[in-house]
Structure 1
Amino acid sequence: MTPTLISPASQADIPALNDLVNSAYRGDSSRRGWTTEADLLDGIRTDETGLAAMLANPQATILKYEQDGQLIGCVYLEKKGDRLYLGMLTVSPDAQAGGIGKQLMTAAEQLARDWQCRAMKMTVIPQRHELIAFYERRGYQPTGETEPFPMDDTRFGLPKQPLSFIVMEKVLETA
């Protein structure tokens, strides 16, 4: 078994990232894991154009998690002032509950410190109770803020019900 590797994604990774993210969030394949949004949203979670735009942002990166040469996890990170926004945390449905999400979050928090960020920030659909609990166990807390879900932008999926986001944040300890 070769070691696992967390590293920044490149444009060459876009097709594999697209397959991974959509398999983990939508459709029947996502139901094998606990992070599915299939009951809340139809359509795709992302596309190659959106991923290319994420990677082209000089304030952002996508960390990928590879094991035995296979892409099985990723997370999108974007510096916004003194916070690092964490989104699209993804682990293959067949590899969930093995600590990969925790490892990606640890790497993200280290990157935030390296980039001089004082906190991590994320948005979560409030109906995703298990996911919110997962983040709370890792020190993230709801801020009381909410943000609207892009109801008319099909790039993020087609809501099956009215949706919004809650904002969660974790203040980082300094070294």
Structure 2
Amino acid sequence: MTTFTISAATGQDIPALNQLVNSAYRGDSSRKGWTTEADLLDGIRTSEESLQAIFANPNAQILKYEEEDQLLGCVYLEQKGNDLYLGMLTVSPDAQGSGIGKQLLRAAEDLAIARKCRAITMTVITQRHELIAWYERRGYRPTGETQPFPDDPRFGIPKQPLAFIVMEKEL
């Protein structure tokens, strides 16, 4: 049985988190996994500067998943009123399909319950049908709300018009 830990990431993890997130979402390395956005977006998914901003936000944190001191996954969480916003759920392309995403999602839900949150909310690119279905199988539902994709190259350069749907799971 593989032993793993899920713990709060720190500023020392920024270089490894940056590499992990970008490898899972963009570029050729991301095509090994099913979470790739390479067909939808060019550019990077995050940067060390963006990650530093997360660590500077007192309402935000990143949980990291490690096996044998190897970073294989992470998730961004931010307290927004009575809700916990979940984003950047990431699993290394080589480790996808092994349950790491489910473990991180469960850890996020446990944290939200411990904080007495009403719900976990998230935004998902509307074209990511397989990802939306994955979240729906775990109890998340579209709220009917949509949001525009940011017109900011720090989040990627869209290859087509993109928007987000808002999903939530009441706790």
- Name the TM-score, length of structure 2 as normaliser: 0.98
SS in 2 for 1:32: coil
User: d(CA) in 1 for partners of 2:4 and 2:39?
Assistant: 32
Match of 1:163 in 2: 162
Match of 1:47 in 2: 47
CA RMSD of aligned residues (A): 0.9
Give the letter for the 1:170 counterpart.
K
Cα offset for 1:113? 1.1
SS in 2 for 1:150: coil
Cα offset for 1:24? 0.0
The one-character-per-residue Cα deviations of 1:90-131 (angstroms, maximum 9, x if unpaired) are 000000000000000000001111122110000000100100
Match of 2:107 in 1: 107
Runs of 4+ in 1 over 4 A off after TM superposition: none
* 1:17-166 matches, cutoff 5 A: 17-151=17-151, 153-166=152-165
SS in 2 for 1:5: strand
Structure 1: runs of 5+ lacking an equivalent: none
Structure 2: runs of 5+ lacking an equivalent: none
User: d(CA) in 1 for partners of 2:91 and 2:29?
Assistant: 12
SS in 2 for 1:134: helix
- Name the TM-score, length of structure 1 as normaliser: 0.96
Cα offset for 1:2? 6.2
Cα offset for 1:89? 0.2
User: d(CA) in 2 for partners of 1:9 and 1:83?
Assistant: 21
Cα offset for 1:28? 0.2
Matched residue pairs, number? 171
